[in-house]
């Protein structure tokens, strides 16, 4: 992205651009946030659509076998991977807007880094699940342990995602792209997300995902707001 020339004010300083007038690339990158949320939720729903309620090792093995035989479950996994790429694009777009429109110090770097970290942790956490999903000759107990490791890593992603939401709220507020109310909700959800993640580390099975799910809705709202800005 190239820098935009801004008119100078009465004191010779470059005037900040107004909230309107985003480039097409900015709006597409902004829309990637809502697409990420849609892909993650739809993909997870498709993957879990063939899962049963038995959480024993034998039940986990049966669920994995059903997923391996299901085209819907495989499509859901692929959709979740696409969603992670969209998240990286979305976070990079917000960071670029922060640099260009407000000069928000190091916070745009935090936004981009947190988005990349969420994707990296999620991809790394998928490895045990894929191993249990595809490897032959594993016992039910080993498969169950691998799936449990994947679940614990999911709780771990709440931490960088909370950082992403909190830093993005500040960057977007300074850039004039969201109002104080939406930014305030983002900061509140970031705080709740951090607490939920820290509490969940000790007992992933009883971790409360509500702050994370609400943060996904906040992401979709911000995405719609940014992508809905007028083009240039």
> ∠24-232-227 over CA atoms, to 5°?
45
Q: CA–CA separation, 160 vs 120, rounded Å?
A: 10
Q: What is the DSSP letter of 206?
A: G
pLDDT tens readout for residues 47-84: 877 766 567 777 777 777 777 777 888 888 889 999 99
The predicted pLDDT at position 88 comes to: 97
pLDDT tens readout for residues 101-138: 876 578 999 999 999 999 999 888 776 666 666 656 67
Residues in the chain: 232
Model confidence at 12: pLDDT above 50: no
Nearest to 111, CA basis, from 231, 222, 211, 232: 222
- Rounded to the nearest 5°, which phi and psi values hold at 8? -95, 150
Q: CA–CA separation, 88 vs 112, rounded Å?
A: 7
pLDDT tens readout for residues 16-38: 444 446 788 999 999 999 999 99
pTM for the model stands at 0.81
Q: CA–CA separation, 5 vs 198, rounded Å?
A: 44
Nearest to 100, CA basis, from 227, 6, 219: 6
Are 225 and 15 a contacting pair, CB within 8 Å? no
The predicted pLDDT at position 131 comes to: 66
């Amino acid at each position: 992205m190239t820098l935009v020339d801004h008119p100078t004010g009465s004191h010779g300083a470059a005037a900040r651009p107004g909230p309107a007038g985003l480039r097409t690339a900015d709006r597409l990158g902004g829309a990637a946030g809502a697409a990420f949320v849609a892909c993650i939720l739809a993909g997870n729903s498709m993957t879990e659509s063939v899962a049963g309620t038995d959480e024993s090792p034998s039940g986990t093995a049966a669920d994995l076998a059903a997923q391996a035989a299901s085209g819907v479950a495989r499509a859901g996994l692929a959709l979740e991977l696409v969603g992670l790429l969209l998240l990286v694009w979305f976070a990079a777009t917000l960071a670029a807007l922060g640099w260009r429109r407000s000069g928000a110090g190091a916070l745009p770097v935090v936004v981009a880094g947190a988005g990349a970290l969420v994707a990296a942790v999620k991809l790394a956490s998928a490895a045990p699940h894929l191993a249990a999903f595809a490897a032959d000759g594993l016992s039910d107990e080993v498969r169950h342990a691998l799936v449990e490791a994947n679940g614990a890593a999911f709780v771990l992603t709440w931490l960088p995602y909370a950082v992403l939401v909190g830093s993005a709220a500040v960057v977007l507020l300074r850039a004039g792209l969201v109002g104080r109310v939406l930014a305030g909700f983002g900061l509140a959800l970031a705080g709740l997300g951090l607490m939920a993640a820290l509490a969940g580390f000790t007992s992933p099975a009883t971790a409360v995902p509500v702050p994370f799910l609400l943060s996904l809705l906040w992401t979709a709202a911000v995405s719609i707001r940014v992508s809905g800005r007028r083009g240039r």
